[in-house]
Amino acid sequence: MNVDWARWNGRVLTVFGPVLILTGIAGFLTPPRLALMSGAPAYDVFHLASGAIGTMLAWAKHPTGIAAFNLGFGLIDLYQAVAGVAGWFPAEQFQYRPADHVAHVVIGLALAVLGWQGLRRPRGAR
């Protein structure tokens, strides 16, 4: 089975970039007592900035940049899951909640694998 990883990376980032932007906006608008996830301003700015970068890469349709973003963001998400539980930077600034940890593990694993697959060269290619 031949999977077009570049196409899958592009499709995912075309949706995920704007979702990150909406997540950042929602974080600023949702009252903390009603939020399932962190509403720390630094966390919301991180989502807005990451979403803007991801969306621009998706619009540019640069397969290597898209796959690298997905891999990098996935690894950052996985780090955030560990950092939140261990109390490492930026846990204090981002004020993670349990739902953040779950999202970081699930999204982080998916994006890291997808991005890594997108950056791999096919067998026999130079």
Mean pLDDT of 18-23: 98
Lowest-confidence range among 36-40, 49-53, 86-90, 111-115? 36-40
The per-residue DSSP string of 79-121 comes to HHHHHHHHT-TTHHHHT--HHHHHHHHHHHHHHHHHHHHHHSP
CB 58 within 8 A of CB 10: yes
pLDDT tens-digit map of 87-101: 999 999 999 999 999
Residue 125 above 70 pLDDT?
A: no
Q: Where are the domains of the chain?
A: 5-119
The pTM for the full model equals 0.92
pLDDT tens-digit map of 27-49: 999 998 898 999 899 999 999 99
pLDDT at 32: 83
